[in-house]
């Protein structure tokens, strides 16, 4: 599916796979493998930004995927996030949508909310928020309307 469909139909917290369609090179070709991995991976949808019109430039709508955190002893040193335009030439697939009843911890950043954490229920979300202080964070429950979008893709809602 196109990036535009992901932007339009995937709720925040969805797991998205993206690919350029190229076959994976052998492990011994480290540089080729690293380049391939940068265009073929999986991430969690954490932000959607609308198109922008400025006097000097315009940009199409885009979305950001969180691919992972790196560090040790509970300290995150590097957080890997990638932002894709709806005009991207990559192919995207919604691998998993958040389940009904899960709770998102969101923070308003700019024009649109950003996902900070996806919890299994309200109690877990409140616990996470108590140990991770964010001044403008709020909770939002995943609704049946969002999960019902699976029917559009030919699958039944889970």
Q: What is the pLDDT of residues 39-96, one digit of tens each?
A: 999 999 999 999 988 899 899 999 999 999 898 887 889 999 999 999 999 999 999 9
Q: Do 122 and 142 form a contact (C-beta atoms < 8 A)?
A: no
CA dihedral (18, 16, 5, 82) positive or negative: negative
3-state secondary structure of 80: strand
* pTM, two decimal places: 0.84
Domain positions in the chain are 1-97
Compute the distance between CA of residue 119 and CA of residue 107 in angstroms, rounded to an integer.
Answer: 15
Compute the distance between CA of residue 139 and CA of residue 106 in angstroms, rounded to an integer.
Answer: 6
Strand partners, 84: 63
Burial class (CB in 10 A: 0-12, 13-18, 19+), 94: buried
Predicted confidence band at 29 (pLDDT cuts at 50, 70, 90)? very high
């Amino acid at each position: 599916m196109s990036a535009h469909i992901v932007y339009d139909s995937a709720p925040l917290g969805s797991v998205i796979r993206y690919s350029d369609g190229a076959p994976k090179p052998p492990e011994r070709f480290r540089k080729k493998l690293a380049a391939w991995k940068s265009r073929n991976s999986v991430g969690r949808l954490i932000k959607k930004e609308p198109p922008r019109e400025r006097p000097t430039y315009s940009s199409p709508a885009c979305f950001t995927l969180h691919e992972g955190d790196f560090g040790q002893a509970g300290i995150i040193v590097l957080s890997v996030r990638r932002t894709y335009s709806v005009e991207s030439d990559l192919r995207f697939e919604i691998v998993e949508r958040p389940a009904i009843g899960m709770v998102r911890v969101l923070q308003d950043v700019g024009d649109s909310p950003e996902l900070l954490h996806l919890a299994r229920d309200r109690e877990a979300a409140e616990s996470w928020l108590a140990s991770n202080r964010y001044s403008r964070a709020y909770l939002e429950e995943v609704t049946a309307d969002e999960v019902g979008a699976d029917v559009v893709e030919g699958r039944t809602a889970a």
